[in-house]
Structure 1
Amino acid sequence: MTTSDTAALHDPDTYTRGVPFGLIEQLRARGPVHWVDEPELRGLPRGSGYHLVLDHALVTEVVRDAATFSSALGGTQIHDPATPRDLAYVRRMMLNMDPPEHTRLRKLIAASFTPRAVRALEERIAGHAKGIVDRMLAGPRECDFAKDVAADLPLLTLADILGVPTEDRWLMFDWSNRVIGFLDADYASSASFDPGQGTSLAQEAVSLRPSPDASGRMPDPRGRDGMPDLYRYAHLLGDAKRAAPGDDVMSILLAQREEDGDRLSVEEFENMFWLFAVAGNETLRNGLPGAMIALLTNPEAMRALREDPSLIPTAVDELLRWWTPVMTFRRTASRDTSLGGTAVRSGDKVVVSYLAANRDPAVFDHPDELLIDRKPNNHRVFGHGPHVCVGAHFARVQMALLFREVLTRTSDIQLAGEPAYLRSNFQRGVKRLPIAWTA
Structure 2
Amino acid sequence: MTVHQAPPVPDVFDPRQHATGVPYDAYRVLRDHHPVARQDEPEVLGWPAGPGFWAVTRHADVVRVLKDSATYSSYIGATQIRDPDPDDLPFIRRMMLNQDPPGHGRLRRLVSRAFTPGRIERFAKVAKDRARTLLAHALDEARASDGTVDLVTTVTDDYALLNLADLLGVPEADRRLLLHWTQRVIGYQDPDEAGPQVLDPAGKPVNPRSPAMLRDMFGYAQQLAAHKRRYPDDDVMTTLAHDAELSRAELEMFFFLLTVAGNDTVRSAAPGGLLTLAQHPEAYDRLRNGRVELTPAVDELLRWHPPVLTFRRTAAQDTELAGRRIRAGDKVVVFHASANRDERVFADPDRLDLSRTPNPHVSFGDGPHVCMGAHFARLQLRVLYREALRVLPELRTAGAPERLVSNFINGLKSLPIRIT
Q: TM-score range by the shorter chain?
A: over 0.9
Aligned residue type for 2:413: K
Partner of 2:67: 64
**Are 1:41 and 2:44 matched, yes or no?**
yes
Select which of 14, 17, 20 maps to 2:23.
Answer: 20
Deviation at 1:245, TM superposition (A): 1.6
Q: Name the CA distance, whole Å, in 2 between partners of 1:144 and 1:367.
A: 29
Q: Is the 8 A contact 1:309 1:408 kept in 2?
A: no
Greater displacement, 29-38 / 372-381: 29-38
Deviation at 1:369, TM superposition (A): 1.2
Partner of 2:105: 103
Partner of 2:174: 168
Partner of 1:273: 255
**Are 1:139 and 2:145 matched, yes or no?**
no
**Are 1:126 and 2:108 matched, yes or no?**
no
Partner of 1:286: 268
Greater displacement, 214-223 / 175-184: 214-223
Q: Name the CA distance, whole Å, in 2 between partners of 1:12 and 1:43.
A: 12
Any idea what SS the aligned residue of 1:34 has? strand
Deviation per CA, 1:220-271: give whole Å up to 9, x if none.
2111211332122112111111222211022123323xxxxx4211211111
Deviation per CA, 1:96-125: give whole Å up to 9, x if none.
011111111100121222343223222322
Deviation at 1:211, TM superposition (A): 6.7
* Percentage of identical aligned residues: 45
Partner of 1:317: 299
Greater displacement, 244-253 / 89-98: 244-253
Q: Is the 8 A contact 1:34 1:53 kept in 2?
A: yes
Q: Is the 8 A contact 1:69 1:331 kept in 2?
A: yes
**Are 1:154 and 2:156 matched, yes or no?**
no
Deviation per CA, 1:158-207: give whole Å up to 9, x if none.
112211012322211111111111111101128xxxxxxxxxxxxxxxxx
Length-normalised TM-score, structure 2: 0.93
Deviation per CA, 1:47-74: give whole Å up to 9, x if none.
1111110111111011111111100100
Deviation per CA, 1:289-320: give whole Å up to 9, x if none.
11111111111001111111862221000001
Q: Name the CA distance, whole Å, in 2 between partners of 1:148 and 1:217.
A: 35
Partner of 2:323: 341
**Are 1:227 and 2:214 matched, yes or no?**
yes
5+ unaligned residues in a row in structure 1: which ranges? 191-209, 257-261
Change (3 A) 1:108 1:189: same
Q: Is the 8 A contact 2:62 2:334 kept in 1?
A: yes
Partner of 2:83: 80
For the aligned residue pairs, the C-alpha RMSD in angstroms reads: 2.1
Any idea what SS the aligned residue of 1:58 has? helix
Change (3 A) 1:226 1:395: same
Q: Is the 8 A contact 1:47 1:79 kept in 2?
A: yes
Partner of 1:259: none
Deviation at 1:218, TM superposition (A): 6.2
Q: Name the CA distance, whole Å, in 2 between partners of 1:173 and 1:275.
A: 13
Select which of 221, 228, 237 maps to 2:224.
Answer: 237
Length-normalised TM-score, structure 1: 0.89
Select which of 399, 402, 407 maps to 1:420.
Answer: 402
5+ unaligned residues in a row in structure 2: which ranges? none
Change (3 A) 1:243 1:368: same
Deviation at 1:214, TM superposition (A): 11
Q: Is the 8 A contact 1:43 1:183 kept in 2?
A: no
